[in-house]
């Protein structure tokens, strides 16, 4: 059996119809299949390869850590240089109140940790999340997902979880003094790139302050430079009590974090129970890769170029079949009139060597979230191919 057959036969699948493309190697903004056909990566493995595939600084950091040691001990028992250096570097990018970083393996685990922390800190159980939100695939994260179809087969999930409208000030009344936390993506990803505004975030912050509720911002998809600021919440001038990150944070390696104040974080661990245990969380190799990623984002001025590249996409993606282009930085959704049309365009683009994608909760929009390292020439080429693909299939 070839690898594709083995893939279909023996690998657990996430969807009924996976793309099943076999990639031989990846470098920068390109992936190459076994026939050396190049694919321009417009989605970065869903917001992961923010600084491109196999950035030399990340590869170097990984190799150097592999030469020292791999996993040593359950997270949090030993002083491990890459972990503490990374935690320190992350806090340097944040307001003083976010000074304690709990490293985990993934975005879902970051959500789980944050929910546990919020319950433990407040002694409350009620959690509010937003319609069309996505916070991960584990049971707690699924409980705060905003898509009923995703949750239905797994009910009952966590009790006392409720949805409010994303950016709906009228729903803020539902935050009361029984509410442990509100969890919200600063920019909604899987909803198809949906944004709200500063006045909503200010009202949300004020309501949380008034009721003693913790505010959790999920920046798993929109953090680490994706939107043109290091953290998406910088656009809105409102600071959360707990911040989640993963995906782009690892430069292609698995890692995530939930971040809070030392004061709040302390409540996760005090007696009589252990708060959150993770064997591989903050794996030394992932932590080293993440630190290198952070340094690259800071030293290569990638974030400051995001707005210009975003504007270029907007100026080029003009076609009568394109209904709307929504974006926050290089987190973009290109909307068409139907799923059928979109599906054909995405498959045509794959033929043409352009990798784009669908969203979980928005069936008529194409995901565009390329590595921030994409050049203007590559953006022009990609947009031309998108317009051509639309003409071919429409
Ligand atoms: N939160 C958000 C906003 C996400 O987009 C995702 C992944 N798409 C997650 C959490 C879950 O992350 P992971 O797949 O690493 O568990």
**Ligand 1 centroid vs 136 CA: distance in angstroms?**
5
Q: List per-residue pLDDT tens for the chain, 394 residues long.
A: 999 999 999 999 998 889 999 999 999 999 999 999 999 999 999 999 999 999 999 999 999 999 999 999 999 999 999 999 999 999 999 999 999 999 999 999 999 999 999 999 999 999 999 999 999 999 999 999 998 889 999 999 999 999 999 999 999 999 999 999 999 999 999 999 999 999 999 999 999 999 999 999 999 999 999 999 999 999 999 999 999 999 999 999 999 999 999 999 999 987 777 889 999 999 999 999 999 999 999 999 999 999 999 999 999 999 999 999 999 999 999 999 999 999 999 999 999 999 999 999 999 999 999 999 999 999 999 999 999 999 999 8
Residue 355 and residue 367 in one domain:
yes
Q: How far apart are the C-alpha atoms of 286 and 82, rounded to whole Å? A: 9
Q: Could you list the residue range(s) of the whole structural domain that residue 333 is in?
A: 3-54+301-393
Domain termination residue (choose one: 255, 283, 299): 299
The CATH number given to whatever domain includes residue 380 is: 3.90.1150.10
Q: What's residue 231's pLDDT?
A: 98
Question: Of 233, 124, 193, nearest to 367 (Cα)?
Answer: 193
CA of 335 to the centre of ligand 1 (A): 22
Six-digit token string for 263: 């004061």
Ligand 1: residues whose CB is within 6 Å? 46, 106-108, 111, 134-137, 185, 189-190, 218, 220-221, 246
Q: Answer yes or no: do 97 and 218 share one domain.
A: yes
250 and 195 in one domain? yes
Q: Are residues 234 and 338 in the same domain?
A: no
Q: What's the gap in Å between 186 CA and the centre of ligand 1?
A: 13
The minimum-distance atom of ligand 1 relative to the CA of 136 is 11
Number of helices followed by number of strands (H, E) in the chain: 13, 14
Both 335 and 386 in one domain: the answer is yes
The closest-lying atom of ligand 1 relative to the alpha carbon of residue 247 is 15
How remote is the CA of residue 175 from the centroid of ligand 1, in Å?
24
With beta carbons less than 8 A apart as the criterion, state whether 369 and 44 touch. yes
* Alpha carbon of 247 to ligand 1 centroid (Å): 7
Whole-number pLDDT of residue 147 = 84
| Tokens standing for residue 356 | 């784009």
Same domain, 136 and 102: yes
| Displacement of CA 182 from its chain's centroid (Å) | 18
Answer yes or no: do 349 and 371 share one domain. yes
Q: Nearest CA to 160 among 115, 201, 198, 102?
A: 115
Q: Which atom of ligand 1 is nearest to the CA of 133?
A: 3
Atom of ligand 1 nearest to the CA of 190: 5
pLDDT at 260: 98
- Note every long-range contact of 321-329, with CB atoms under 8 Å and residues 24 or more positions apart, other chains counting: 321/390, 321/394, 322/390, 323/364, 326/192, 326/193, 326/194, 326/195, 326/365, 327/193, 328/187, 328/193, 328/195, 328/222, 328/226, 328/227, 328/228, 328/232, 328/235, 329/225, 329/226, 329/227, 329/228, 329/229
C-alpha 135 to ligand 1 mean position (Å) = 5
Give the ipTM: 0.99
| Residues 81, 142 share a domain | yes
Structural domains counted in the chain: 2
CA-closest candidate to residue 224, choices 388, 86, 377, 338: 86
Query: What pLDDT does 245 receive?
Result: 98
In sign, the C-alpha dihedral spanning 153, 156, 158, 160 is: positive
Final residue in a domain of this structure, among 284, 299, 314: 299
**In the prediction, which pLDDT does 264 show?**
97
Domain boundary among 238, 265, 299: 299
What is the number of the ligand 1 atom nearest to the C-alpha of 106? Answer: 15
**In a shared domain, residues 352 and 290:** no
């Amino acid at each position: 059996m070839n690898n594709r057959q083995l893939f279909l036969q023996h690998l657990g699948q996430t969807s009924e119809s996976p793309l099943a493309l076999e990639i031989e190697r990846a470098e920068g903004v390109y992936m190459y299949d076994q026939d050396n056909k190049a694919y321009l990566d417009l989605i970065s493995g869903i917001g992961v390869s923010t600084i491109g595939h196999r950035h030399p600084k990340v590869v170097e950091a990984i190799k150097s850590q592999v030469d020292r040691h791999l996993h040593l001990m359950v997270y949090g028992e030993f002083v491990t240089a890459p972990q503490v250096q990374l935690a320190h570097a992350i806090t340097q990018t944040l307001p003083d109140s976010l000074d304690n970083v709990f490293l985990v393996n993934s975005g879902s685990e970051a959500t789980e940790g944050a929910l546990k922390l919020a319950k433990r800190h407040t002694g409350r159980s009620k959690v509010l999340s937003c319609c069309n939100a996505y916070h991960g695939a584990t049971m707690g994260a699924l409980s705060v997902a905003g898509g009923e179809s995703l949750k239905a087969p797994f009910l009952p999930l966590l009790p006392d979880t409720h949805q409010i409208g994303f950016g709906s000030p009228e729903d803020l009344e539902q935050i009361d003094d029984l509410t442990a936390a509100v969890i919200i993506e600063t920019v909604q990803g899987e909803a198809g790139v949906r944004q709200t505004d500063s006045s909503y975030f200010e009202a949300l912050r004020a309501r949380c302050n008034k009721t003693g509720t913790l505010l959790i911002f999920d920046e798993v998809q929109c953090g680490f430079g994706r939107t043109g600021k290091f953290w998406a919440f910088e656009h809105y001038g409102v600071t959360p009590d707990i911040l989640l990150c993963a995906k782009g944070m690892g430069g292609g390696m698995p890692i995530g974090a939930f971040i809070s104040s030392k004061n709040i974080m302390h409540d996760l661990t005090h007696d009589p129970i252990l708060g959150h245990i993770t064997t591989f969380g903050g794996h030394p190799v992932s932590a080293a890769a993440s630190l290198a990623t952070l340094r690259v984002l800071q030293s290569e001025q990638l974030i400051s170029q995001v707005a210009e590249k975003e504007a270029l996409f907007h100026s080029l993606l003009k076609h009568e079949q394109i209904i709307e282009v929504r974006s926050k930085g290089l987190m973009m959704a290109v909307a068409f009139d139907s799923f059928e049309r979109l599906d054909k365009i995405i498959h045509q683009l794959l033929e043409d060597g352009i990798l784009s994608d669908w969203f979980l909760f928005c069936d008529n929009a194409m995901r565009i979230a390329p590595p921030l390292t994409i050049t203007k020439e590559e953006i022009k080429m990609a947009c031309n191919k998108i317009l051509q693909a639309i003409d071919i299939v429409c």
